[in-house]
Structures are given as C-alpha cells and as structure tokens.
Structure 1
Amino acid sequence: MTSQTEIYLKDFHRRRAGATRRAYGNHPARSAHAEYPSSYHALAKRVPNDGMPRTVLDLACGDGPLLQILNDRGNSATKLIGIDMSDGELSAARTVLPQDVRLINERAQDLSLDTGSIDYVLSHMALMLMDDIEQVIREIRRVLREGGSLSAVVGRAFLTGPVGEVFLNIFRPIAKANLAHLPLGDARTRSESGWSELLQHGFANVVFEDIEVDWTPTPEQLWSDMLDTYDADRMSETARAQFKSELLSAFAPMQREDGTLKTGWGLRLIQASAA
C-alpha cells in the first residue's frame, strides 16, 4: 500500500523533476581519500571502467544523471537499468538517455528484476527516504549476484558550518508551527551503526566514506535552491515568505567579500558486498 510519504514524494518529483540533480550534479565533492566532480561520480567510480560485461542498476535513478555518467563511458558491454517510483523523473530521464538504457517505474520494495541478475546496485540520495528499508535491502540483495556490490550515497549533514546552525535555528520554530509530520525514512539510515545493523544479513565488507560537498551560494541563490527541498515545498505561502525573510536577514552579515556564504553538505558513501 502506498503511504502518505510516498504519495507526497511522487507528487513533488512530478512537479520538480531533477531537483536532486540540481542540488548535487554540479558541485565538486571532496573526501579525505579521493576527489570527484560530483557525488554522482563518486558512485560511478565504484563500477570498474574496463569494458567487461556487467549489469548495473541505479535504484531511485531520478532524471538519470548517474546513468548518464555511466553511459558516457562508452562501454557497450555494460547494461544499464534505472528504477524510480516517480513517472515524472523517469520521463525527464528518457529525454536524455539512449533507448538501450532500460527505465522501469516501480517501488524499490518490490522489484521486477530477476534474482541474481545485477552486478552493481547504485543509489544516490534516496535510500534514507524509503519506507520499509529492511524490505528494500532484501530486494537489493535478492537481485544482486553473489559477490555483487551495493554502493549508496546518503545524507549525513545538511548545510554545514555556521550557515547550517543559523538555518536550523530559523527553520525549526517555523516548521513546528506550520508543517505536519511527514516521516521520511528509517532513523537507522542516519548513522553508520544503523547501516551496519541494516546490512548485517546478506552483506559483508561494509565500509563508509565521508564526502564533503562545498557550496558557496549567495543568500538569494541559497534560498532559490531551498525551494527544491521537501520542507520548503510543503510550507504555506505565508510560512515560506516568513522563512525567506528571516533567512536572508540572518545571512546578510555572514556574507563574504564576494557576497557568498561558505557552507556545503556532508554525505556518506556506503559500500557493501553481497555475501
């Protein structure tokens, strides 16, 4: 049965297809161990670029940025599949991806793919939002061949540094007064220990990598991007106007000489092998 959360997410991504790409697609991402043009590239790097035949599933593929990166490698032996529950996102993906990239409109909790048919499952900024994450993980393990790989980028910290602290101080009272509770995902997806627990059955060699995404927007640019977030989208026009006014006022003295703010996102890259 489709939950209220899924109903909202499907509606949001129909209206604002490509929101995740706009947030993460063009920002340089850095970690202690590697540098990636974006967090999508961090996931793409988990798939060897050696021309060997393999099948890759992008779970919750959105409008297809990760599939684009993989396709642009030019390895015809790599079969690409994208699954998403949003028909709006998949429609956008279809316009930019070649026809041999298979796109499927379905839920991660009930995949139509054959057991053991996938070599690599990738997922970008989605698993931490999903209902019944234990069933999602069971389905991921089912479709993976033995020894196959799961790699996922999930959220770790939103708007880092002082900018994030100011943001939360303004957001929390407005949200409490204006937003009905909308459960987004399982609390265990917000910590390494939680992921270790979720992946303890069926997976081995679970490792984590922190990815820091720098962002230096002007206050107006930051606000514009906030409109692509679930919380701002769910506010009434009055609450949204209050939120914007208070944010811009608080950010004004935090601007650097060039008018920008120094902030970013903290992401977590999870890798595990199907055991």
Structure 2
Amino acid sequence: MRLSEKLMLFKNNYKNFNSSWINKIDSGENPNSQDLLDHLDLIHDRHAGFTEKIATSCCDVHGKNSYELLLDTIDPSSHSDILDLACGSGVLLEYCNKRFPFNLKLSGVDMNDNELKLARIRLLNKDIDFFNAKAQKLNFIKDSSKDVIFCHWALTLMDPIIPVLKTIKRILKNHGIFSAIVDGDSNSAKGYSEINNIIYKYVQKIFPNYGLLELGDPRVRSLKTLNELVKMVFDDCAIKITPHVLTFKEKPKVLAKDVSRFFYASLVLSSKHYQVLVSELENYFNKSSVNGLSEFNLPVNRLIVEKRSKLYFLNK
C-alpha cells in the first residue's frame, strides 16, 4: 500500500465514513453519478429507515404528514396499480395498504437491500411486490402499466434525473398520476434555515467542502426550476406544484436527535462528532421551547403530474 493510500485510509477511519463521493468532495474533485449512488447506498446500508421518524411526525395544519399528502392523489375509483419508486423501508406502501386495503395492486422499487428488507418485514404477508432496481433502469416494468407512481423525498437525490422522468412517463397509463414530495423553499419554514446552517457548519468543520455540491440535481429543489424540468419531459401534461410546511413538536432533547438523523449531512459524521452536533441542536431547541416543547418546521413541495397523450388534446 502506497503512503498516500495509507494516509487516505487513516483519514477515512478518523472520519468514520468512506465513500467515493465524500472522498472526491473532500479533495475538491467533482463526483459523478455513480459516486452519488455509492454514497447513498452506503448511507442507507448503515441507517436504513432513518427518514421515517421525521417524515411521519411532521404534519400540516390538517394533521397530514408528507406520506398522506401523496395518498390524497389516489382516486380508488379509477386507480388500481400503484408503484412506490424508491420505496425505502415501505412506510408509504404501509399507509397505502391501510387506507385502501382492497382492490389495489401495490409494488415498490428501491436500490438498497437493507431498506427493502425492512419493507418486506413491515409488510409481511401482504400481497406487495418489491424489486431491487435503480430508478433509471425499470425495463422490467411494462409501458403504460401504472395508474399512480409515488416518489417520496427521493427525486431530489436522483442524478441523472431526466432518464428517471422519461421512465416514469413511459410506464404511466394515460391519465395516470405521478406524485412526489421534494424539498421546499427553506425560507418558507420558520427556523429551518437556522437548523440547516447549524448542521452544515458543524459538518464543514470535519469536511470543509461538504455542501459545495448538492446531492442529486439541484433543479429539483426549486419550485421554478422543478416545473421547467418536468415540462421538458411531460410536455402537454397537467403539472401542479404546491408548497407545504409540516411541523413536529417535541421535547428539545428528543427533537435534536430526530432532526439530526433526517439530514444526510449529519450521517457522514463519526459517532463522537455526531453527539456534539446533537448537543448543539438541543441547545438551539431549548432556546425556542415553550412549555417544554420546541418545534421543527419542514418545507416541502408536492408535485403532481397527470399524463395526457396527444390524442387526448386532439379530441378536446
């Protein structure tokens, strides 16, 4: 082993995280899409199911979380075949199965084995098909076969994104619905930017270049550019993007742990550094607590696309 390799190994052991994406970011290089896939796969191997707590707990003024916002786009009278793209640990499919226990064919796709293991356990003895595959490679799914395709907080991380959107369009039926939850405007949710800054500033003490390059395609993170991006593929289709702010109230100590684990940035830290970050977040939440509770406000955008063939418009 060369000296440079030994130094890199020591560096990675110290930081307790080793992916080609983080190594290239750390050295000032530009990672490619395969580096991103490897990075995300490693994180989900280590922390399968880590998004569940915040995603289920943060709710809008009507008490709905982001999973339930997606379920609202299902019309059980006309939709029967549902695909959850990047299904993770199967939470959305579980919600779907509970709300619509009859007459729906459910399936989930994810690229990570550990997430799929959790999903299969969660939905044991349910008639749900799971597939290990990347969103860009769904050749095993027939054209125009799905009534609804969900993507809960994963579209933001996909790169390249255009092949994903083209695949979704291909496998959707005419009048089928593509519904996704993605990042919203950080300035629309009280306190979100401050929390994001606490996490990123601390991570940058260990990984100075972290945050200079976003995970995935940055166009998905802006309402304007997301709309333009989707229109590039779903031409002549109905597109609607609505902003939402979801809130979770808890004791500062609990909230600090749950919120920190929701951010990919915090998951590249060693356990020692992670505990320091949690303490900083707890201090932040303590300062804003009321009657022993503090709150985390999460901005999201819900994207809804209805596929319409050109024949549909000619007949109108």
TM > 0.5: yes
Q: Is 1:17 matched with 2:48?
A: yes
Q: SS of the residue aligned with 1:197?
A: helix
* Partner in structure 2 of residue 121 of structure 1: 149
CA distance in 1, matches of 2:226, 2:219: 6
Alignment of 1:83-122 (within 5 A): 83-97=109-123, 98-111=125-138, 112-122=140-150
The one-letter amino acid paired with 1:105 is: N
Q: How many residues align?
A: 268
Q: SS of the residue aligned with 2:250?
A: coil
TM-score (norm. length: structure 2) = 0.77
Q: SS of the residue aligned with 1:231?
A: helix
* Partner in structure 2 of residue 55 of structure 1: 81
Following superposition, the deviation at residue 88 of structure 1 comes to 0.8
CA distance in 2, matches of 1:116, 1:266: 32
132, 152, 169: which one aligns with 1:141:
169
Following superposition, the deviation at residue 4 of structure 1 comes to 2.0
The one-letter amino acid paired with 1:48 is: D
Q: Is 1:236 matched with 2:263?
A: no
Q: Deviations over 1:183-202 (max 9, x none)?
A: 41111101122122111133
Quick check: 1:24–1:38 contact (8 Å CA) kept in 2? yes
CA distance in 2, matches of 1:134, 1:166: 32
Q: Is 1:248 matched with 2:282?
A: yes
Q: Is 1:193 matched with 2:220?
A: no
CA distance in 2, matches of 1:172, 1:186: 19
Q: Which has the higher strand share?
A: 1
CA 227–73 in structure 1, closer or farther in 2 if over 3 Å, else same: closer
Q: Deviations over 1:205-244 (max 9, x none)?
A: 1111222211122221122111343111102345434423
- Further displaced range: 7-16 or 186-195: 7-16
Following superposition, the deviation at residue 96 of structure 1 comes to 1.9
CA distance in 2, matches of 1:67, 1:244: 31
CA distance in 2, matches of 1:169, 1:152: 26
Quick check: 1:60–1:124 contact (8 Å CA) kept in 2? yes
Q: Is 1:26 matched with 2:83?
A: no
CA distance in 2, matches of 1:237, 1:71: 36
CA distance in 1, matches of 2:265, 2:218: 18
Following superposition, the deviation at residue 60 of structure 1 comes to 0.8
Following superposition, the deviation at residue 36 of structure 1 comes to 5.0
CA 187–76 in structure 1, closer or farther in 2 if over 3 Å, else same: same
CA 55–239 in structure 1, closer or farther in 2 if over 3 Å, else same: same
Q: Deviations over 1:153-204 (max 9, x none)?
A: 111146932x334324433432333225464111110112212211113341
**Structure 1 vs Structure 2 CA RMSD:** 2.3
TM-score (norm. length: structure 1) = 0.88
The one-letter amino acid paired with 1:54 is: S
Q: Which has the higher helix share?
A: 2
CA 73–169 in structure 1, closer or farther in 2 if over 3 Å, else same: closer
CA 104–248 in structure 1, closer or farther in 2 if over 3 Å, else same: same
Consecutive unaligned residues in structure 1, runs of 5 or more: none
The one-letter amino acid paired with 1:207 is: K
Q: Is 1:65 matched with 2:91?
A: yes
CA distance in 1, matches of 2:113, 2:230: 29
Consecutive unaligned residues in structure 2, runs of 5 or more: 1-31, 309-316
247, 258, 261: which one aligns with 1:227:
261
Q: Is 1:3 matched with 2:34?
A: yes
CA distance in 1, matches of 2:105, 2:281: 45
* Partner in structure 2 of residue 130 of structure 1: 158
Quick check: 2:256–2:279 contact (8 Å CA) kept in 1? no
CA distance in 2, matches of 1:137, 1:57: 14
Quick check: 1:164–1:263 contact (8 Å CA) kept in 2? yes
Alignment of 1:161-176 (within 5 A): 161=190, 163-176=191-204
Q: Is 1:217 matched with 2:243?
A: no
267, 287, 303: which one aligns with 1:270:
303
Quick check: 1:53–1:77 contact (8 Å CA) kept in 2? no
